[in-house]
Amino acid sequence: MSEPLDLVIRNAVAVTAADVHRCDIGVRGGRIAALAERLGPARREIDAAGRTVLPGGVDGHCHLDQPLPAPMRLADDFESGTRSAACGGTTTVIPFAAQEKGGSLAAAVADYHRRAAGRACIDYAFHLIVSDPTERVLREELPQLVRAGCTSIKVYMTYDILKLSDRQLLDVLEVARREGAMVMVHAENTDGIAWLTERLVASGRTAPKYHAASRPAPLEREATHRAITFSELLDVPVLIVHVSGAEALEQIRWAQGRGLNIYAETCPQYLLLTAEQLGAEGYHGAKYVCSPPPRDAANRARLWEGLAAGAFHIVSSDHSPFNYDDPHGKRLGGREVPFPEIPNGIPGIETRLPLLFSEGVVKGRIDLHQFVALTATNPARLYGLYPRKGTIAVGADADLVIWDEQRTLTIENKRLHHAVDHTPYEGMRVTGWPAVTLSRGDVVWQEDRFLGRPGRGEWLACGLPDPARPRRRYEERP
């Protein structure tokens, strides 16, 4: 006689990126053990009552407890950030272990393990940020870390403390191609930004709204094209992160039309916000300072078209949580600072799924399968976690969300579970919210109550992303 199931979710409408099944979902040992029209009794049961059950969200781009130059400090650590994620239907997060210039990449990863230990409420993996690709990093540390399960690498084309030269970018891409890693690129032209910023500041235009003027769309377009060119040169997949508007999207679609291995991500802030909010009364526009900045309504419409057409593969939060009224946050040093000094980033780890569902699925811009692909399946595939994460299948982790498609509520910061003192989506009405979130079979969120605990989340060693596997026909290249 087989061992009884730990849990059965009955009467589920299980939705994946490809299929819909009306079934019971059986869980044993934290994994999905059975999908059937009717399963026998289990130690615990949850009646989904015909509700949609989705794979738990995979947020492939968020920043938690990331070391920053003083006095900047992120509001969320691994405990508050993963708690907030779980309450929003996300069951896996992938934040960044960031190398300091002059420092060791391996030491950054070891430090990040210490920061996460005993704190994470859901499972997590690490991306690598390479800011100083020395000979040791390229020849020893980076290959060893990829083989140890950190199989995605982020590089920056802007920010003085992070940016790489074109030659350094090529060096990192070469290692990624050899090791089979995925490279994520923050694509903005750093010299163009610096040139514009100097002239804006010199003329006294330092309010938050001028952040958008310092980082216009052509500078994102140019850097995106350059990243695509380097990807083509080395025949290595690249993912352009947080695409903000039509001009960068045109470059991506051009590359995809040529059959190049170019993947793309956007975020709710670019689908829902605009640059007008940077001009909010007083200093409140600082809440919306992120890079690239939100664009205008026409750009938002083009991004939605790109989502529907399949040009984008991932919608992430890019959760970068700085408090507004905080000397470590937007009021850096306790004052209203000029726009170049405002810490870049906005919170959104808990609101990512409800916003995309409400504005995308409910309004008919994308269907439910696309929603699952963009928020769970594709990030799991591209970052080497599929099929353990990102789908509903026998053998997968029982990371599941029972979704209340009918629930309508107003987003208020007091409802959220992050450690940030504001949300940029304050006052927005959404339809659809997670009723129950399960992480490896454990209920961590149920009907407005967080039931998880710090330390139950596990670190995930990522496999090689399937799209990033080197192709034999190019082995003769240098």
Domains within the chain, CATH numbers bracketed: 1-478 (3.20.20.140)
**What value does the mean pLDDT take over residues 334-342?**
97
Question: What confidence score (pLDDT) does residue 447 get?
Answer: 87
Q: What is the mean pLDDT of residues 313-329?
A: 98
The pLDDT value recorded for residue 372 is 98
Q: Are 273 and 294 in contact (CB under 8 A)?
A: yes
Answer whether 325's CB lies under 8 Å from 275's CB: no
Instruction: Report phi then psi at 17, rounded to 5.
Output: -65, -15
pLDDT-derived band of residue 340, with 50, 70 and 90 as boundaries?
very high
Query: How many angstroms separate the CA atoms of 373 and 331, rounded?
Result: 37
Segment 208-231, tens digit of pLDDT:
999 999 999 999 999 999 999 999
| Three-state DSSP state, 399 | coil
- Radius of gyration from C-alpha coordinates of the chain: 22
Is residue 470 over pLDDT 60? no
Q: Which residues pair with 124 in a beta bridge?
A: 93, 459
Collect all residues with Cβ–Cβ distance below 8 Å to 421 and sequence separation of at least 6: 75, 323, 324, 325, 326, 413
The token pair at 239 is 């993912």
Residues 75-94, mean pLDDT to the nearest whole number: 98
Six-digit token string for 386: 């599929």
Whether 376 shows a pLDDT value over 80: the answer reads yes
Cβ count within 10 A of residue 333? 12
Q: Does an H or E element contain 287, and which? A: none
Nearest to 207 by CA among 32, 376, 339: 339
Closest C-alpha to 257, from 300, 183, 311: 311
Q: Which residues contact 166 (CB under 8 A, 6 or more apart)?
A: 226, 230
The tens digit of pLDDT for each residue in 447-469 reads: 899 999 999 999 999 999 876 54
**Rounded to two decimals, what is the model's pTM?**
0.96
How far is Cα 216 from Cα 11, in angstroms, rounded to an integer?
50
pLDDT at 111: 98
Residue 353: closest CA among 141, 16, 85, 9: 85
Dihedral pair phi/psi, residue 303, rounded to 5°? -65, -40
- What is the per-residue pLDDT for 467? 64
